[in-house]
């Protein structure tokens, strides 16, 4: 007699993902699918795809989905959630999408306490367009538009989004996690599950920032990219819970 | 039902509720503020939702989400605000999301003036979003027509799954007139939400509002489908225009919206003097009426707009002879008088009675 101990989540399609080896998107997609499976919400979830590497999200999930304009997923998610207050609405956004062109939309969706869950992938670079500087690119980090490394005098400073949004009253839950180690992946799943459960319970806006990797545009191997997350990214973007209304935080 | 007196903007808002619109997303801008103000008060009472968005950009993207979810949804704005909405309008086009956009035009370019204008004809009919597309554009010339058009706009939007623009100006928005709110609307076939809208799919067949068509042949095929099926059908079914004193006319004013009612007075004035002049009033700006411009009795088409001349291009295309088309316009928030339009036409006609 055999026992299944590991299988693909039911909410993922059979489409082969296009992500590069060592990229965090695949891991986070799986985490989302596992959480939605466990919550029995496959037929009740709507996911808002960003502009960026995750633009192909509609092909990967068995949920209703929409391609959002660059940065506008929180606004589009607002429109969807207001029509479908009983659905689970997820926006999935990268750092250029959310923290640059979409900064107004994310701040105001959070301030309004829109009952959506934003999954924010922070890998410090524009992936899809080929490695340009992101609002979260670390000081000194190379990008195709900061070729000598980000010079904060010239290019300004990175933005810590979780800290920034946690000053608002609208969010119910904000946590920054990472997916560079198995232990961090387990914590990331707990955070995403909690965020989705808070949404189900109508507690308010929820966001999980995932510090992730981009080996291709960082110019690192898959393994080295994961090490970079732990050594460089996490010290600048400390992991932890920044807002939790249930904990009085 | 008896007529009541309403301000244009509030009548537009009320018409939306009557049409079944329960979602409105907008941002303040003069001269359309009474639309969001009215709906912020009345929509919740009607069981709907109003959100004052952080920007016009956010508002139209909320519309994209709500319309994509199968709800009747509207936004309204004025010229610079409509400029900001263009990106989202393009996404609604590509995603085939029904929605209604009310544009209360004011003088531009840039911040311009808050006074009425028709200088956003091109913005409405040509659009500022990227790609090949058309959007049905309805042009009311009174508060009554604004009410009727808003109700019809929702039908057209749902039937063809497209954004529809109702383009008026600050004068119609700010003016009070008697209106009949309950005029019947021509209903159209509407595809069931289960077939396409968010929240109605299943894990076996998901509904997806798609904008990315990365594969070039598929992207071209989508464009061809829009033009060959959707747009040609709209051109066939949705053209609207009115004619006034055109039966024996040898000259014709061409005007829409506010200028059409001004020019109607010019026609009356000139008729009293014995001139055989009438008025062609396009009620849809896209699709633009073609038939009235094939009238061989007309020696000159006198186009009047509150702009430097935008619709005039469509009139020239429809007439097919630029020499037969002439233009008079005021802009920057200046509203022409019936007398000055008549004076101009009289010069064009050169005393030919």
- Chain B contact present for A201, CB below 8 A: no
Count of domains for chain A: 1
Structural domain includes residue A13: no
Q: Whole domain around residue A103: which residue ranges?
A: 25-247
Q: Is the pLDDT of residue A249 over 90?
A: no
Compute the average pLDDT of residues B144-152: 98
Q: Is the pLDDT of residue B1 over 80?
A: no
- Chain B contact present for A65, CB below 8 A: yes
CB-closest option in B54, B59, B203 to A43: B203
pLDDT of residue B262: 98
Cα separation of the two ends of chain A:
48
pLDDT of residue B159: 98
Compute the average pLDDT of residues A181-186: 98
Compute the average pLDDT of residues B73-88: 98
- CA nearest A129: which of A143, A148, A109? A143
Chain B closest-CA separation from residue A139 CA (Å): 31
| Segment A48-68, tens digit of pLDDT | 999 999 999 999 999 999 999
Compute the average pLDDT of residues B8-24: 98
Which sign, positive or negative, has the C-alpha torsion B64, B57, B213, A41?
Answer: negative
Write the secondary structure of chain B as one string of H (helix), E (strand) and C (coil).
CCCEEEEHHHHHHHHHHHCCCCEEEECCCCCCCHHHHHHHHHHHHCCCEEEECCCHHHHHHHHHHHHHCCCCEEEEECHHHHHHHHHHHHHHHHHCCCEEEEEEEECCCCCCCCCECCCCHHHHHCCCCCCCCCCCEECCCCHHHHHHHHHHHHHHHHHHCCEEEEEEEHHHHHCEEEECCCCCCCCCCCCCHHHCCCCCCCCCCCCEECCCCCCHHHHHHHHHHHHHHHHHHHHHHCCCEEEECCCCCCEEEECCHHHHHHHHHHHHHHHHCCCCEEEEEECEEECCCCHHHHCCCCCEEEEEECCCCCHHHHHHHHHCCHHHEEEEECCCCCCCCHHHHHHHHHHHHCCCC
In CATH terms, the fold of domain B4-237 is Rossmann fold (3.40.50)
Structural domain includes residue A64: yes
What is the share, in percent, of chain A residues with pLDDT greater than 90?
97
Q: Is the pTM of this model over 0.90?
A: yes
- Chain B contact present for A12, CB below 8 A: no
Compute the average pLDDT of residues B219-223: 98
| Segment B26-35, tens digit of pLDDT | 999 999 999 9
Q: Is the pLDDT of residue B101 over 80?
A: yes
- CA nearest B61: which of A11, A68, A101? A68
Q: What CATH number is associated with residue A97?
A: 3.40.50.970
Compute the average pLDDT of residues A168-192: 98
pLDDT of residue B191: 87
| Per-residue buried b or exposed e for B184-197, using 16+ beta carbons within 10 Å of the residue's own CB | ebeeeeeeeeeebb
Structural domain includes residue A81: yes
Q: Is the pLDDT of residue B284 over 80?
A: yes
pLDDT of residue A1: 72
| Segment B225-268, tens digit of pLDDT | 999 999 999 999 999 999 999 999 999 999 999 999 999 999 99
Are B61 and A76 inside 8 Å of each other by CB?
A: yes
CB-closest option in A58, A65, A79 to B25: A79
Compute the average pLDDT of residues B110-115: 95
CB-closest option in B69, B88, B209 to A84: B69
Best mutation target, B58, B210, B213, to test chain A (most A CBs within 10 A): B58
* CA gap A170, A91 in Å, rounded: 17
Are B88 and A72 inside 8 Å of each other by CB?
A: yes
**How many CB pairs (< 8 A) connect A and B?**
125
- Chain B contact present for A105, CB below 8 A: yes
Compute the average pLDDT of residues B268-295: 98
Structural domain includes residue A10: no
Q: What is the CATH number of domain B241-349?
A: 3.40.50.920
Structural domain includes residue A17: no
| Segment B170-214, tens digit of pLDDT | 999 999 999 999 999 999 999 899 999 999 999 999 999 999 999
The vertex-A150 CA angle with A145 and A156, nearest 5°, equals 100
pLDDT of residue A76: 98
**Mean pLDDT of all residues belonging to chain B:** 97
CB-closest option in B25, B61, B67 to A69: B61
Per-residue pLDDT band at B78 (split at 50, 70, 90): very high
Are A67 and B68 inside 8 Å of each other by CB?
A: no
Contact between residue B263 and residue B253 where contact means Cβ atoms under 8 Å apart? yes
Chain B closest-CA separation from residue A232 CA (Å): 34
One fold for B4-237 and B241-349: yes
Compute the average pLDDT of residues A70-99: 98
Compute the average pLDDT of residues A150-155: 96
Q: Is the pLDDT of residue B352 over 90?
A: no
Provide DSSP, A152-174. Answer: HHHH-----HHHHHTTSSSEEEE
Are A104 and B58 inside 8 Å of each other by CB?
A: yes
pLDDT of residue B237: 98
Q: Is the pLDDT of residue B351 over 90?
A: no
Best mutation target, A48, A79, A104, A106, to test chain B (most B CBs within 10 A): A79
Best mutation target, A76, A98, A104, to test chain B (most B CBs within 10 A): A76
Residue of A nearest to B68 (CA): A80
Break chain B into its structural domains and give their ranges.
Answer: 4-237, 241-349
Compute the average pLDDT of residues B36-54: 97
Contacts with B67 from chain A: Cβ below 8 Å: 79
Q: Is the pLDDT of residue A116 over 80?
A: yes
| Segment A3-25, tens digit of pLDDT | 998 899 999 999 999 999 999 99
CB-closest option in B58, B73, B95 to A108: B58
Compute the average pLDDT of residues B263-285: 98
- Chain B contact present for A15, CB below 8 A: no
pLDDT of residue B353: 73
Per-window interface: A 82-101 vs B, CB < 8 A? 82-84, 87
Best mutation target, B69, B193, B215, to test chain A (most A CBs within 10 A): B69
């Amino acid at each position: 007699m055999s026992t299944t101990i590991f299988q693909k989540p039911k909410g993922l399609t059979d489409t082969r993902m296009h992500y590069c080896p060592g990229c965090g998107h695949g891991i986070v997609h799986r985490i989302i699918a596992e959480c939605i499976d466990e919550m029995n919400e496959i037929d009740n979830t709507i996911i808002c795809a960003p502009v960026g590497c995750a633009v192909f999200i509609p092909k990967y999930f068995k949920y209703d989905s929409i391609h959002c304009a660059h940065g506008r997923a929180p606004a589009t998610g607002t429109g969807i959630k207001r029509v479908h207050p009983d659905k689970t609405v997820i926006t999935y956004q990268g750092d250029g999408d959310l923290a640059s062109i979409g900064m107004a939309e994310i701040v105001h969706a959070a301030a309004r306490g829109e009952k959506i869950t934003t999954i924010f992938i922070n890998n410090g670079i524009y992936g899809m367009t080929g490695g340009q500087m992101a609002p979260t690119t670390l000081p000194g980090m190379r990008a195709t538009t900061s070729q000598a490394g980000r010079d904060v005098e010239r290019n300004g400073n990175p933005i810590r989004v979780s800290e920034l949004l946690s000053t608002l009253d609208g969010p119910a839950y904000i946590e920054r996690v990472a997916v560079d180690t198995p232990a961090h992946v387990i914590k990331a799943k707990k955070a995403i599950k909690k965020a989705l459960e808070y949404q189900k319970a109508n507690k308010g806006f929820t966001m999980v920032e995932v510090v992730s990797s981009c080996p291709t545009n960082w110019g690192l191997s898959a393994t080295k990219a994961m090490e970079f997350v732990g050594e460089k990214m996490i010290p600048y973007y400390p992991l932890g819970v920044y807002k939790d209304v249930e904990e009085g935080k | 039902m008896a007529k009541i007196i309403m301000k244009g903007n509030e009548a537009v808002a009320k018409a939306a509720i009557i049409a079944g619109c329960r979602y409105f997303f907008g941002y303040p801008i003069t001269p359309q503020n009474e639309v969001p103000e009215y709906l912020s008060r009345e929509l919740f009472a009607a069981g709907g939702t109003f959100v004052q968005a952080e920007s016009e950009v956010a508002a139209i993207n909320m519309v994209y989400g709500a319309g994509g979810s199968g709800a009747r949804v509207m936004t309204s704005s004025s010229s610079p605000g409509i400029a900001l909405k263009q990106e989202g309008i393009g996404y609604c086009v590509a995603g085939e999301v029904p929605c209604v956009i009310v544009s209360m035009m004011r003088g531009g370019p840039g911040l311009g003036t808050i006074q009425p204008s028709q200088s956003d004809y091109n913005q409405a009919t040509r659009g500022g979003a990227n790609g090949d597309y058309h959007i049905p554009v309805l042009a009311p010339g009174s508060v009554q027509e604004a009410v009727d058009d808003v109700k019809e706009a929702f039908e057209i939007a749902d039937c063809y799954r497209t954004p529809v623009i109702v383009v008026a100006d600050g004068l119609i928005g700010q003016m009070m007139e008697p209106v009949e709110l309950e005029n019947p609307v021509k209903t159209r076939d509407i595809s069931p939400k289960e077939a396409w809208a968010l929240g109605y799919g299943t894990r076996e067949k998901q509904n997806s509002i798609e904008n990315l068509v990365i594969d070039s042949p598929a992207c071209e095929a989508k464009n061809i489908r829009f033009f060959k099926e959707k747009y040609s059908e709209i051109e066939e079914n949705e053209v609207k225009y009115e004619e006034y004193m055109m039966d024996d006319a040898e000259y014709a004013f061409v005007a829409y919206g506010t200028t059409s009612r001004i020019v109607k007075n010019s026609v009356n004035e000139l008729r009293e003097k014995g001139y055989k002049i009438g008025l062609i009033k396009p009620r849809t700006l896209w699709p633009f009426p073609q038939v009235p411009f094939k009238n061989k009795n007309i020696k000159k088409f006198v186009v009047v707009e509150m702009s430097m001349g935008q619709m005039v291009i469509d009139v020239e295309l429809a007439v097919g002879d630029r020499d037969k088309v002439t233009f008079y316009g005021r802009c920057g928030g200046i509203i022409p008088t019936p007398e000055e339009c008549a004076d101009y036409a009289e010069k064009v006609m050169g005393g030919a009675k």
